[in-house]
Structure 1
Amino acid sequence: MRFSRKETIVTIIFTLSCTMLYAQQVRVKASVNRDRILIGEPIVLQLEAELPEGESYTWFRLDSIDHFEWLAKGSVDTLDAVQGKLYKQLVTITSFDSGSWTIPRLSLQVKNSSYLTDSIPVSVEYSNADPNKPYHDIRDIIEVPAAETNKVNYIIAIVTLLAIAGLIYLLTRKKKEKVEAKIPTGPVMTAYEKALSLLSALKPRLMQSNGHVKNLYIELNDILRDYFREEKLVLEPDSTNDQLVVRIKRYINKEQAIRLAQSLRLVDAVKFAKYQPSSGENEEVLNSVQHAIEGINEQIHQKQTN
């Protein structure tokens, strides 16, 4: 059966119109509740698709996204829409890599066609603590008037004489009989046992601090840092708290890493911004630090046992 040229053109226009009308009935969208986060903070990614009634589809593939990690994937909810059905899913992600990253375009498959969402830029940053301030509280350098030259010379001469006298005493005194070294009366504490003991002693003081917690938060931070150093997990003494979390997150699960990151940001706020936490926040910070140490110790112990 042959079609005339006019019939062929009409057929093509009709086909294109139907295709465009169908495409208008399919709508996909991806959005986030925030596009700027601190390391370890969660992001809620909402995925939407509006399709004609009864249309079959293949939902967005949620495998992996560079620089992001999945925390939770909610179920796909179905709602009535003007032109069919609206499908929604909430998924929670986070990132432990600082920098400017992009959630890529995600694809929804309907029949033989793919519909892509827009890409979404996200900025992942360290905490807002002042990086120019020393991490541990150190007293400022106190300027003193320069001493007169003669006084300085006298002091140097006296110190030198005392040093010579001490050296002569050490060289001329009789050697003492060798004494066997004393054997420790108790077992040596491991880094894990030491950290838990210090946290246990710190807890009642923190709970009864009545708002004066800055020094206690510094002590808490030092307990965690000392544990990391003794376990040789973090050797850099000038690492920020966010950098500490990035370096040890492979030893703990995602929930513990997020709670620890949030707690250490609170520690920074207390130390550098004079933030006054509540008693509930004090307990939460202490518990998150303890759970992180327990999780790390268990992970290291399992590796050594295996």
Structure 2
Amino acid sequence: MKLKLYIFLFLLSTTVFAQQKQVETSIDTTKNKIGAEFKLTLKTVVSSKSKVVFPKLKNIGALEVIESYPIDTVKKNDTYELIKKYGLTQFDSGKYTIPAIKILIDKKPFLSDSLSVEVANVKVDTLQQKMYDIKDISTAESGIGSWWIYLLILIVILAIGAFVYWYMKKHQKKKIEEEVYKTPIEKATSLLNNLEQKELVQKGEIKEYYSELTDIARNYIEEAIHIPAMESTTSELIQAIRLASTKKKMTLTPETVENLERVLRQADLVKFAKSKPLDFEITEDRNKIQRVILTLDNAIPTEVPAEEEDQLLNEAQRQKQIKIQLQKKRNKRIVTSIATVVFLLTATTTYFIVTKGFSFVKDNLIGHPSKELLEGEWVKSEYGNPGVVIETPKVLKRMDTQKVLPKEAMALIKEMQLFVYGSMIDNFYVTVSTTKFKNPTDIDLAKALEGSLKVMEAQGGKNIIVKQEDFQTNEGIEGVKGYGTMTVLNPIDKSSTKAYYEILLFKQEQGLQQIVILHEEGDTYANEISARILNSVELKKASN
């Protein structure tokens, strides 16, 4: 019968992961009054390069965490002793078990020892005890979570971008209409004044100064005399001005044309030969350009007053220019607004990366499947017979054991029920199975654990490392816990993942209850899920 039972246990189980012990556990007292503080202390000694993560817990078993004390660090030669304390309390009398707590050392999980404590009643003397008024109602913390904070930050950033766009639009339209000048001379004069206000010479930007100075002159010549000045070389432009002065009967002195040519050639030397004129030469060149423009404007013959059709045409051209400028400014507003939003998003993301870490930002912006499970709505339910009451992120689905187990195993079983969420290759996997045997059987939990591990190996688990210890539920029911690491092979893409597993086994007179948890090693969210599941375990007696 025992041989058949071991064969059955080999064919029964499920999944995944391992660990070593390196944590000292102690408590200041094992007996306290209702509402008084138990101070739980965890110590570990690590190297200076090790990274230790103590969990943030609201409850440890049935006890509430009322204070999570800062970590004390004591240097000892080349090692550090890290001391973490939790203040625990309970408001119902009775005996309680503080379950093992999972600590990550260099991303590897280690467990503290479980402890038993007792909470005693407090005698109240209502004759001598002073009575106080009932306190005002306090507002409870919302259970919405922290996602709305990130949504609010995003809305604020988008609102800032929208404001930048609106502000630029409001102040640019009037400015554009002012910049579309009625005459070329008006435009050239204004641009020369603006050029001086930029103080490019004082900043040492001589090349930029000469480039803008000659562009103003070329633009004026192109618009006023209708010569393609912007596309012409210096020689071509001077020759074109001389021809235009003859055709348009413009009275130009040789000195005017020579001054223009000198400044243009000086600009060419500055731009292409890296020449550096003296300050007084720069001032003279600017004055020469201004005199040339004024001389050219005075030399252009006065035209006959335009007819109404010409006036309409000029106005249409002016409106066209305004539209072009508006389009350019609109594009600039869009680019500026987008750049503002991108900058603020980048700055906000960088801030959270620096303060919270890259994983925090990635998990909250992109998402993390285990984090979504942890923060979702959990379900507490009873599974199987003998019943296992357990709290999980998702409801476990019933599996047909007839399809899972061979006939030889089913021949030993009076009743078996199996409930599963996920699979061994998923980010989180949990199973609950309960079994009642036909004949009285002395169940060896250590052998049952060994059979479960062999089944996991048959299902794709490789390099299995296992640790075994006694386990006790919050109600004091004792069982066996196996935990460790393994490599899980994905049969689809042949990839492998390092996983951590925990197996709980409990026996009754003719019944076996098993809980298996498996998840990727180093997944801190999955570690929290696992701890919460194990702390919620309650067992029911077998019914006939």
Could you tell me the TM-score, scaled by structure 1's length? 0.35
Larger radius of gyration: 2
Identify the structure with the greater strand proportion: 2
Could you tell me the TM-score, scaled by structure 2's length? 0.21
Q: Which has the higher contact order (CA 8 A, sep 6+)?
A: 2
